[in-house]
Amino acid sequence: MAGIGIVSNPRAHRNRQHPEAAAHLERLLGEAGLLRRAETPEELAQALAEMRRAGVDLLAVNGGDGTLHRVVTAVEREWGSRPWPHLLPLRGGAMNTVATCHGHRAAPEVALERVLARRAARQPLLAVERDLLRVSAEGSERKLGFLFGTGIAVSFLEAWYATGHATAGRALLLLLRTALSAAVGGRFAAAMTRLEPLRVAADGDEWPADAYLSVVAGAVPQIGFGFAPLGRCGEQPGFFHAVGVTGSATHLALRMPAVYLGRPWRRPLAVDAVARSLLVEGREVRYTLDGDLFVAPGGLEVAAGPLAEVVLSG
């Protein structure tokens, strides 16, 4: 049986709070694999090269969503067209949406213990296939990830990070404040939810609106706190789900229960598509990929990327 590789990011939120976590994971892992700490792109590349040579068939990522997207981007460079190891997202960051989407709600140590127990019993791990997103923008390297967003998605993250305490509790309070303010047409929501002029086309078909509250796309259905606006992401192999919110913040706030439940999008609130490619053009497109923030002057393309098999909890 091939081994387990763990990439641990010491800068990830939980790992800063619990610096002993990596050593604990390493002790649990024992002879079943190897753990490497990686803070820089160079350290990450070196760690993945060692794991590929060692024949790792399960790659665990001890970090949050931001760490995960940097790891899968580097995995593509290292593995190329070879079969990838299965991915196991561990809850080591401030944002752990991808881990939650796959049922991983326990601490990283508990999740690893469960995997080790199943492997010791020679029980197969349950996994789901995900078509990753590939984001390409002029002047920057291509990135892989699970969740993309503009507009309110970026404003929300900026406000959350600005609190200095990027915790789930702070995020929930910020979400509630934004929703309540939007429901009554408040100034806070107005500042967070300005429509952005964008040209958007899915697989060459241009969307009718010229301004958006947010454009989101995902390889996973949830975007956090159980909200599942991207439920069609697994509808067709090689495609992802994209949504352009064109309605007002008030309209969106009133539809929050439906968004939470993953109900189909309806106009005039939004337009959506299951697509292979999404072109987003604007003077300066501010976007997030798995919680990290970027700017793409002139625009960018989101395309269906490589297939990853992500381990489910259980």
CB 217 within 8 A of CB 241: yes
Altogether, the residues listed in the chain come to a count of 314
- Average pLDDT value for residue range 131-139: 94
102-117 per-position pLDDT tens digit: 999 999 999 999 999 9
* pLDDT over 80 (residue 168): no
Q: pLDDT by residue (tens digit) across 5-18? A: 999 999 999 999 99
70 half-sphere exposure, CB direction, 13 A CA radius: 23
Mean of pLDDT over the chain: 93
- The pLDDT value given to residue 311: 98
Buried b or exposed e, range 157-166, using 16+ CB within 10 angstroms: bebbeeeeeb
Mean pLDDT of 171-177: 83
Topology classification of domain 4-125 = Rossmann fold (3.40.50)
Indicate the pLDDT class of residue 251, thresholds 50, 70 and 90.
confident
Three-state DSSP state, 291: coil
Q: Read off the pLDDT of each residue in 229-238 and give the average, rounded to a whole number.
A: 95
Q: Is the peptide bond preceding residue 268 cis, with omega within 30 degrees of 0?
A: yes
Whole-number Å distance between alpha carbons of 43 and 58: 19
Looking at residue 207, its pLDDT comes to 97
| 135-305 maps to CATH 3.40.630.30 | no
Annotated domain spans of the chain: 4-125, 135-305
